Amino acid sequence: MHVDMDAFYVSVELLKRPELAGRPIIVGGLGGRSVVLSASYEARRYGVHSAMPMSQAFRLCPQAVILEPHHEDYRDVSGRLMAIFESITPLVEPLSVDEAFLDIAGAMRLLGPPRAIGELIRKRVASELGITASVGIASTKFVAKIASTRSKPDGLLLIPRDETVAYLHTLNVSALWGVGAKTRESLARVGISTVEDVARTPVSVLKRLLGATGEHVYELAWGRDPRTVTPVRREKSIGAEETFARDVSDDETLHTELLRLAHKTAVRLRAAGLQCRAVSLKLRYADFSTLTRTRTLREPVDSAQLIYEESRALLAALGPRRMSVRLIGLRTERLEPAEGAAVQLTLDGRDDNWRSAEDALDKINARFGELGVMPARLLDPARRGRSGRTSGRTGPPPEESS
């Protein structure tokens, strides 16, 4: 079973603003480089979709109401959503904050057939969370995901095992995982446009056309997907990034933003009980070219100050920049459990002091709100080059500066 919330961010925002139901809603910032995080189905009718620049979205749908995102609310609702799933079956594989795969084979003995379980989940999500879910049920993960997508919004589609191939063969080739625009063009050149066309094409021909992907799409075209639901997936990396409202060329602004990203990342590391053995820096320049650099650490860390120092060293090692910076990102990698990990401290206790201070910040902010207490440097108005936020407004976002 694949369960996916309908316009999740919008739905959570409407819990606080029910009077806006039925209107075109866009969740996102109003900065010149902000993008759409979520759009209501009313806004989608005008062509608005996630990841679209806000300026473009407003041109398509000028009457839309733009709401500020509240990520803490989304995390809270997501946690309650996953708890509903886990009350049905322990075999839950979250894909994001608002969707997951569920293996319900064991639950059928207690809760009845698949459709009944799907309807039970939809009913509980609606009554306990106040939002709607779409459910796809099939014998494989791939087909279940297709079914949930085609049941949106607020629906359920079950594709029986013995009808899987016949159903798939009615679909366009773009329904297959791994078939993007370029792959679709390659297939179209030889007259392959549907899933059935793929299924009727010899694997050897598909491999010549697509390389290793050829065998993959062939198997999917016959409904074969051996992957099982994986309940626990350790995060491979944790990080954050920021796109500036205006390109940045001075080191001071970049350093301040790195410090903010380091604190945001370290909080997530500690909340997950993890430490990192590598830090990665990402820069996107004004011409959209992107550069990444990674440094392996001598000892695992979860301190924002130490992560900041490593990322700043990576930035310095790049030398003089050839142009201004559009985006900066920081990511921690090679994660491992923090519990029982040996930590090498400096003789003067500097590392231990930072870690103790950040532990105190975690406790304060857990009680009074995320980043309610922060390093004084992050209060500097100069860093407000980042995109602004506006709540519940209509009106065009500012155009991106030239």
Domain boundaries, given as residue ranges, for the chain: 1-135+388-402, 165-221, 237-371
**For domain 237-371, which CATH number applies: 3.40.50.720, 3.30.1490.100, 3.30.70.330, 3.20.20.10?**
3.30.1490.100
Q: Which residues are catalytic?
A: 99
Could you tell me the pLDDT band of residue 177, with boundaries at 50, 70 and 90?
A: confident
**pTM over the 0.85 mark:** no
Query: Is pLDDT at 389 greater than 70 in this prediction?
Result: no
Is position 98 annotated in a ligand binding site?
Answer: yes
Query: Which of 312, 397, 401, 402 is closest to 68 using CA atoms?
Result: 397
Q: Which residues contact 331 (CB under 8 A, 6 or more apart)?
A: 237, 238, 239, 240, 265, 279, 280, 282
Higher pLDDT, 99 or 34: 99
197 is in an annotated binding site: no
Q: What is the CATH number of domain 165-221?
A: 1.10.150.20
The reply to whether 1-135+388-402 and 165-221 are identical in fold is no
> Above 90 in pLDDT, residue 62?
yes
Here the tokens at position 276 are 């990192």
Instruction: Average the pLDDT over 26-37 and give the result.
Output: 83
pLDDT of 379 higher than 90:
no
Q: Give the whole-angstrom CA distance, residue 311 versus residue 327.
A: 14
Count Cβ neighbours within 10 Å for each residue of 261-271 and write b for 16 or more, e otherwise: bbbbbbbbbbe
Q: Which residue has the higher pLDDT, 15 or 383?
A: 15
CATH fold label, 1-135+388-402: MutS, DNA mismatch repair protein, domain I (3.40.1170)
